[in-house]
Amino acid sequence: MYKCLWPNCGKVLRSIVGIKRHIKTQHLGDGTDSDQRRREEDFYYTEVQVKEEAAPESATSPTFGSSPIVIQQALAKPEALALDQATLESHLPNSALSQSAPSSFWHIQADHAYQALPSIQIPVSPHIFTSISWAAATSTIPSLSPVRSRSLSFSEHQQPTPMLKSHLIVASPPRAPSGTRKVRGEAKKCRKVYGIEHRDQWCTACRWKKACQRFLD
């Protein structure tokens, strides 16, 4: 159940698309003048479970152990009002600006917690089975730093049969687009977070199979 939070409107719909459309058409200008805000009309409605749960503030954090319920809060009235954007550690769980956070208290936001591996892997796609297996020719790389991670090192000598094939090493790898291609940003997007069964809770872009704009990389 999603309830509209507009001053004098308390409409309750069941689908966000519904409430979103309601807000856009009924309250927001609907095409006509005014408003060019970012896609976020999500800040004008709130989710409710079964009863009334008005008061768009003081979310509080009751049970620290369980409570798997995820509530989408939203702020109302965007008129000229001094809005502080330094609300990160106050009592409000989510900020009130463009990107709408998932409001999950346990949400991980550790950006760039990795990216510290030199990785001496040569830029070659490992799956090339045209005719000759360019892969498996591991001991031909002039590696500069023999990094020894923690595992993945021994027991890599495949083929119980000893040498039998002659030299069939390709001269140059067919490609090396590693870097000029979106290496796939790692971040759980709306799909994985909410699941396909709750598609109407994804961000607009995700629903349209476009680049997610809520959980950007």
Residues that bind DNA (CB under 7 A): 17, 21, 125, 177, 181-185, 188-192, 196, 204-212, 217
Q: Which is nearer to DNA, 11 or 207 (CB)?
A: 207
Bridge partner residues of 2 (DSSP): 13, 47
Local structure of residue 2 (DSSP, 8 states): E
How many chain residues interact with Zn ion (CB under 5 A)? 5
Binding site partner of 57, from Zn ion, DNA, none, Cβ cut-off 5-8 A by kind: none
Min CB(167)–Zn ion separation in Å: 50
Binding site partner of 27, from DNA, Zn ion, none, Cβ cut-off 5-8 A by kind: none
Stretch (H or E) spanning 45:
strand 45-47
Q: Which is nearer to DNA, 35 or 53 (CB)?
A: 35
Report which residue type is found at 105: F
2-4: strand order across its sheet:
12-13, 2-4, 45-47
Min CB(36)–DNA separation in Å: 10
Please classify residue 107 by burial: count the beta carbons closer than 10 Å to its beta carbon, then call 0-12 exposed, 13-18 middle and 19+ buried. middle
Asked if residue 85 lies in contact with residue 95, where contact means CB atoms within 8 angstroms, the answer is yes
Min CB(174)–DNA separation in Å: 12
Asked if residue 120 lies in contact with residue 145, where contact means CB atoms within 8 angstroms, the answer is yes
Min CB(199)–DNA separation in Å: 8
| Interacting positions 153-212 with Zn ion (CB under 5 A) | 190, 203, 206, 212
Q: Which is nearer to DNA, 10 or 29 (CB)?
A: 29
Binding site partner of 203, from DNA, Zn ion, none, Cβ cut-off 5-8 A by kind: Zn ion
Q: What is the DSSP string of 110-153?
A: -TTS---------S--S---SSS--TT--TT---SS----SSS-
Q: Which is nearer to Zn ion, 9 or 17 (CB)?
A: 17
Which residues sit at the interface with Zn ion, rule CB under 5 A?
A: 190, 203, 206, 212, 214
